[in-house]
């Protein structure tokens, strides 16, 4: 399943990727998107219960949100 991981800006992405690999999670460390609140978002692939996996692993500072395909906006016909 695809996930978006929100992490504090100070966390080492490579180290996080290695730590999560042991839990069946693959982190795309090159996908970092900075947020305005001192956080970053990374794309990841992992099990459907990833939030529970993170909690059991003591990684409360990492928040997992389901990801979905990006869909381009299609203007409604006649709406110029």
Cα(42)–Cα(60) distance, integer angstroms: 16
Please tell me the total count of domains within the chain: 1
Asked if the structure places residue 54 within a domain, the reply is yes
pTM beyond 0.85, yes or no? no
Cβ-contact 5, 27 below 8 angstroms: yes
pLDDT tens string 54-70:
999 999 999 999 997 76
CB 71 within 8 A of CB 46: no
Any domain includes 76: no
Residue with tokens 């992490």: 7
Burial of 46 (C-beta count, 10 Å sphere; 0-12/13-18/19+): buried
Are the C-beta atoms of 2 and 43 separated by less than 8 Å? yes
Q: Return mean pLDDT, the chain.
A: 88
Please give the biggest Cα pair distance in the chain. Answer: 53
Domain holding 32: CATH number?
3.30.70
Domain that holds residue 59: 2-66
């Amino acid at each position: 399943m695809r996930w978006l991981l929100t992490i504090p800006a100070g966390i080492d992405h490579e180290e996080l990727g290695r730590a999560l690999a042991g839990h069946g999670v693959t982190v795309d460390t090159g996908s970092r998107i900075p947020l305005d609140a001192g956080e970053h978002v990374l794309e990841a692939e992992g099990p459907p219960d990833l939030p529970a996996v993170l909690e059991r692993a003591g990684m409360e500072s990492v928040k997992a949100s389901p990801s979905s395909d990006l869909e381009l906006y299609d203007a409604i016909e006649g709406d110029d």
